[in-house]
Amino acid sequence: AMWAPRLSMWTAWAAVHLLLAVHVTGTGTCRSDGWLAPVHRQAKKCTVGLIALNKGSIGLGMNAWCSLKRHGHPHTIFLALDNSTYQTLDVAGIPVFMDPTMTVQLPSHNVFFSKHNKNYLNILCSKVKVVRMLVEAGYDVFSMDADLYFLQHPFANTPPFDITFSSNDAALPPARRLCKPGEVSSSKYRCTFNGGFYFVRSFLRTQRLLKRAEDICFSAGQVDQEVFMRLSREKSSDVQWACFNACTYLNAGFLNAGAVGDPDIALKNPRLVMFHANYMRTNMKEIYLQSKGFWDHSCIDLHKFGGAITAEQRHIPLPPVRTQGCSNDGWMATVAGVASGCVIGVITTSAAQLQSAANTWCSLQRVGRTSGIIFQALDNTSYAALQSARVPVFMDLELQPREATNNILAMQCRKVGTIQRLVQAGYHVLAIDVNTVFFRDPLAYRPPFAITFASTETILRMRRCVDSTVNMCRLNAGFYFTRPSKDAVWFLRTAGENCQAQDDGSQDVLLGTAQSLLVQLGCYNFCTYVTEQLLATGHLGKPKDVLSPRKSIMYSATAADWDGSQGLLKEHGLWKPECLAL
């Protein structure tokens, strides 16, 4: 029934094409000798699912395995990328094998997506190699990543094309992202391939294709999906390429693009076959899947895995978010006294930035924003100075440490924790760094997203100046507005955890978190909420024309350090801290 809408389009083509096709075995059989024996035991009439796995992803892999088992026999086997993973799965009684020809040393730890990471490329290329070996042995193969969750068994509908990919259509124009009524499209231009889930049939031409893809992947250092896209564009290709319906074979990249609307609604689609938690770090994948109810280890005995699976311990339920009124308990009493209807602007400062903080405060006074703004002092020195100046100020007594710092990342991390607590307590918070000046009232417009950020640059070369979703901009952590919501608290809590870990060396923790989570984020119009990175490109015009009440609402003088930011403000004639003596 699911294929019926497409039958009229490709039945005639398929009949002719299949007459010309030569299945590798010619008899519908597949090899079962040697290392292929465990593969053959798992296969269903020479069709098999393959999940590549290393030790760091065992928890994810078992989640995919259990989701398959809920719909019958998984007909899937794990490709262990290291000896430790093989031994762990073998002892636990999970079908597993290793590539007997493998010579590349692959890591057992998690490797985050990076085209420049040799370990990551070796994992992808090794998967292509094993898929090629299975196709040569007569198997039709579902190649799967470990971070998949199945709501239906993929074997229920095996597409008739040579190779069919899930889709990364986030990069295509909206009209091209529409989900078609059938389950696949035979046009190779309808989607951009995602290598995390694809189905390939065993033909001589797919053997040749996979051999070429393997060679290019290892030699040119290109990720598998880029290699396949490159080969699909060759006019001489005799392979029939296709894509799964992106709304029913759904991945996080497509979901986060806004192509299917509200993520929570899209994930409850009764026709959903699978969800792929791609473009997230491994711990974020686990947390996200658990939060959506896409987590299942019920089919395995965790004790048999010797501590290799610990993901359940990572998911801590979100604290409740106050939706009626806002708290005035403890240190929040000061905030409540300044807030206007639970809306508050917070300027975060340390002792070293007091003059810059004064400059931001004075710019707000000049545009008539004389209420609803408060300072957050990160240390006793700045708190005492601001109290002496008789301006609203508070200290987050739950924040540790509370000593002076000039480190941008440290300040960003401390601020995130405080904003999270305020949002949980029911406040709508405008978070402001001290390198910001205003030409108009920033609280006059409060966007509808859970969190809305200023933008440092456009990702999709988009020059239309409109509010947009997060995929269309690069977040600026120095200016954002957040509403009390589950998404906002989850984002801020995760950012706080990433701050503590600082496992990626990133100086922009909020940007890294945004790229790892699917929440309702937005970006301000970057033509009126101006950041230095965009101003410096020249796309917005000359600084003297852009930085004025006629053109802009605010300007964030983002630089490598606070002295650099102060220099930019002086250069543009925006350094006027005289209204506040500190």
pLDDT > 50? residue 6: no
The verdict on 155 and 236 lying in the same domain is yes
Classify 98 as helix, strand or coil: coil
The verdict on 297 and 407 lying in the same domain is no
Per DSSP, 516 falls in state T
Backbone angles phi, psi at 431, to 5 degrees: -90, 125
The verdict on 486 and 347 lying in the same domain is yes
The total number of structural domains in the chain stands at 2
Instruction: Evaluate whether residue 321 is within a structural domain.
Output: no
Confidence at residue 515, expressed as pLDDT on a 0 to 100 scale: 54
Binned at pLDDT 50, 70 and 90, residue 282 comes out as low
Instruction: Evaluate whether residue 324 is within a structural domain.
Output: no
pLDDT > 70? residue 520: no
The verdict on 266 and 362 lying in the same domain is no
Q: Which long-range contacts (CB under 8 A, 24 or more apart) does 283-286 make?
A: 283/314, 284/494, 284/516, 284/517, 285/60, 285/147, 286/59, 286/60, 286/311, 286/314, 286/315
Full-model pTM? 0.65
Instruction: Evaluate whether residue 320 is within a structural domain.
Output: no
Q: Cite the DSSP H helix spans in 425-529.
A: 486-501, 509-514
Per-residue pLDDT tens over the stretch 134-169: 999 999 999 999 999 999 999 998 999 999 999 876
pLDDT > 50? residue 318: yes
pLDDT > 90? residue 188: no
Give me the mean pLDDT over the 553-569 stretch.
85
Domain hosting residue 441, numbered range? 332-571
Give 473 or 298, the one with higher predicted confidence: 298
pLDDT > 60? residue 495: yes
Contacts of 461 (CB under 8 A, 6+ apart): none
Q: Are 11 and 192 in contact (CB under 8 A)?
A: no
**Torsion, Cα of 72, 78, 83, 84 (10° steps):** -50
The verdict on 300 and 363 lying in the same domain is no
Q: Are 421 and 398 in contact (CB under 8 A)?
A: yes
Please give the span between the terminal C-alpha atoms of the chain, in angstroms, as a whole number.
Answer: 73
The verdict on 280 and 360 lying in the same domain is no
Distance, in Å, from the CA atom of 155 to the CA atom of 42, rounded to the nearest integer, reads 13
pLDDT > 70? residue 359: yes
Most confident of 201-215, 232-246, 262-276, 304-318: 201-215
Give 120 or 38, the one with higher predicted confidence: 38
Report the range of poorest mean pLDDT among 43-52, 209-218, 260-269, 482-491. 260-269
Give me the mean pLDDT over the 53-75 stretch.
93
Per-residue pLDDT tens over the stretch 385-406: 999 999 999 999 887 656 666 6
Q: Which long-range contacts (CB under 8 A, 24 or more apart) does 19-25 make?
A: 21/203, 21/205, 22/203, 22/204, 23/138, 23/201, 23/202, 23/203, 24/135, 24/136, 24/137, 24/138, 24/202, 24/203, 24/204, 24/207, 25/138, 25/202
Say if residue 526 is exposed, middle or buried (CB neighbours under 10 Å; 0-12, 13-18, 19+): buried
Instruction: Evaluate whether residue 577 is within a structural domain.
Output: no
The verdict on 303 and 338 lying in the same domain is no
Give 118 or 336, the one with higher predicted confidence: 336
Instruction: Evaluate whether residue 582 is within a structural domain.
Output: no
Q: Looking at 280, 311, 342, which one is the last position of a domain?
A: 311
pLDDT > 70? residue 11: no
The verdict on 299 and 360 lying in the same domain is no
Binned at pLDDT 50, 70 and 90, residue 516 comes out as low
The candidate with the shortest Cα–Cα distance to 210, out of 121, 125, 142, is 125
CA angle 398, 401, 404 (to 5 degrees): 120
The verdict on 374 and 463 lying in the same domain is yes
Distance, in Å, from the CA atom of 430 to the CA atom of 376, rounded to the nearest integer, reads 12
Confidence at residue 116, expressed as pLDDT on a 0 to 100 scale: 45
CATH at 277: 3.90.550.10
CA distance readout (Å), 435 to 130, 411, 443, 566, 575: 53, 13, 18, 7, 10
pLDDT > 70? residue 307: yes
State both tokens at 517. 């989570």
Instruction: Evaluate whether residue 70 is within a structural domain.
Output: yes
pLDDT > 80? residue 333: yes
Confidence at residue 480, expressed as pLDDT on a 0 to 100 scale: 93
Binned at pLDDT 50, 70 and 90, residue 487 comes out as confident
Task: Compute the mean pLDDT over every residue in the chain, rounded to the nearest whole number.
Answer: 81
Distance, in Å, from the CA atom of 25 to the CA atom of 467, rounded to the nearest integer, reads 56
The candidate with the shortest Cα–Cα distance to 534, out of 438, 452, 456, is 456
Confidence at residue 1, expressed as pLDDT on a 0 to 100 scale: 36
pLDDT more than 90, % of the chain: 47
The verdict on 196 and 299 lying in the same domain is yes
Per DSSP, 103 falls in state -
Whether omega for the bond prior to residue 270 falls within 30 degrees of 0, making it cis, is no
Distance, in Å, from the CA atom of 418 to the CA atom of 496, rounded to the nearest integer, reads 10
Distance, in Å, from the CA atom of 380 to the CA atom of 148, rounded to the nearest integer, reads 49
pLDDT > 80? residue 208: yes
Instruction: Evaluate whether residue 13 is within a structural domain.
Output: yes
Report the range of poorest mean pLDDT among 193-202, 205-214, 235-244, 368-377. 235-244
State both tokens at 165. 């990919």
The candidate with the shortest Cα–Cα distance to 209, out of 192, 191, 229, 223, is 229
Confidence at residue 419, expressed as pLDDT on a 0 to 100 scale: 95
343-349 and 428-432: which strand pairing?
Answer: parallel
**Cβ-count burial 174-204 (b if 16+ within 10 Å, e if not):** eeebebeebbbbbebebbbbbbbbbbbbbbe
Give me the mean pLDDT over the 205-213 stretch.
96
The verdict on 401 and 262 lying in the same domain is no
Give me the mean pLDDT over the 101-127 stretch.
64
Instruction: Evaluate whether residue 323 is within a structural domain.
Output: no
Chain length of the chain: 582
Give me the mean pLDDT over the 78-103 stretch.
91
Q: Looking at 282, 311, 340, which one is the last position of a domain?
A: 311
The verdict on 355 and 257 lying in the same domain is no
C-alpha Rg value of the chain to the nearest Å: 27
